[in-house]
């Protein structure tokens, strides 16, 4: 799944309380992005397998820009991108994302994820996506969620369908075409169509636990 980084997320209100900076699910642990994570982002951005559906590998400047945009989202709104580890592991295995995306002039909650190839095919992307939705519902009163997928990324389409998102329509971001998915409570814009490959939505990940807030760095 391509994780879009818009230059301006609009002007949604910041939550009135401090939000949890990390969370865990049955098998995973997600930790708030920090400036020191630049090297980890470079590792991911130069991995051709990971980046195949994320716009391709990125150079150092693109990674620095990506890091700064995501750090700014944390500073402005108190949530954003997390580095993901196995529950008892210390080596990053991917990333999770919950951030604002402008859709038809409205700042909506977008979920995103990426995993290194050895962790594909184990249901971890579904676990991340479900955990992000659960976090958004619990802490941001989110009622609907969106995601962008590169055309042809059938694996991500299946993940999103499992967590209850449906194909809505084509969506252009930075002059690049994507498939826009949204939760069932999302109105399909005029001209939208249902995904013929729709699958029944899945259930929430069990044992999701949100860690207490940490002091911002």
| Separation between Cα atoms, residue 10 and residue 23, nearest integer Å | 26
Total domains in the fold of the chain? 1
pLDDT class of 214 with cuts at 50, 70, 90: very low
Q: What pLDDT score was predicted for residue 192?
A: 37
Q: Is residue 136 part of a domain?
A: yes
Contact in structure between 97 and 84 (CB atoms under 8 Å):
no
Q: Is residue 213 part of a domain?
A: no
The count of other CB atoms within 10 Å of the CB of residue 138 is 14
**Cross-strand partners of 5:** none
Q: Is the pLDDT of residue 87 over 60?
A: yes
Could you tell me the two tokens for 202?
A: 């899945």
Residue of 127, 135, 126 whose CA lies nearest to 158: 126
Picking from 105-119, 124-138, 186-200, which range would have the lowest pLDDT averaged per residue? 186-200
C-alpha to C-alpha distances, 26 to 118, 205, 211, nearest whole angstrom: 19, 7, 14
Could you tell me the two tokens for 103?
A: 């859709």
What is the 8-class DSSP label of residue 157? H
Distance between alpha carbon 189 and the CA centroid of its chain, in Å? 22
CATH of the domain at 180: 3.40.630.30
Residue of 29, 35, 65, 60 whose CA lies nearest to 45: 60
Q: Is residue 88 part of a domain?
A: yes
Residue of 36, 10, 1 whose CA lies nearest to 157: 1
Q: What pLDDT score was predicted for residue 3?
A: 41
Structural domain containing residue 199:
22-207
pLDDT class of 187 with cuts at 50, 70, 90: very low
Q: Is residue 14 part of a domain?
A: no
**Cross-strand partners of 46:** none
Pairing of strands 106-115, 145-149: parallel
Q: Is residue 147 part of a domain?
A: yes
């Amino acid at each position: 799944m391509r994780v879009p980084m818009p230059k301006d997320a609009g002007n949604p209100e910041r939550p009135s309380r401090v939000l949890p900076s990390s969370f865990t699910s049955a098998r995973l642990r997600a930790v708030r992005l920090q400036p020191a994570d630049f090297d980890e982002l470079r590792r991911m951005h130069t991995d051709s397998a990971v980046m195949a559906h994320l716009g391709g590998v990125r150079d150092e400047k693109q990674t620095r820009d990506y890091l700064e945009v995501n750090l700014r989202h944390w500073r402005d709104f108190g949530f954003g991108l997390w580095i993901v580890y196995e529950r008892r592991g210390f080596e990053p295995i991917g990333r999770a994302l919950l951030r604002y995306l402008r859709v038809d002039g409205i700042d909506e909650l977008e979920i995103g994820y990426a995993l290194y190839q050895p962790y594909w095919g184990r249901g971890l992307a579904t676990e991340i996506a479900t955990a992000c939705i659960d976090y958004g519902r619990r802490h941001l009163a989110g009622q609907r969620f969106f995601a962008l997928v590169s055309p042809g990324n059938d694996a991500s389409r299946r993940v999103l369908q499992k967590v209850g998102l449906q194909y809505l329509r084509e969506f252009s971001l930075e002059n690049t075409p994507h498939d826009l998915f949204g939760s069932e409570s999302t109105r399909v814009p005029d001209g939208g169509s249902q995904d013929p490959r729709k699958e029944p939505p899945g259930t929430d990940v069990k044992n999701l636990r949100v860690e207490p807030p940490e002091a911002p760095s």
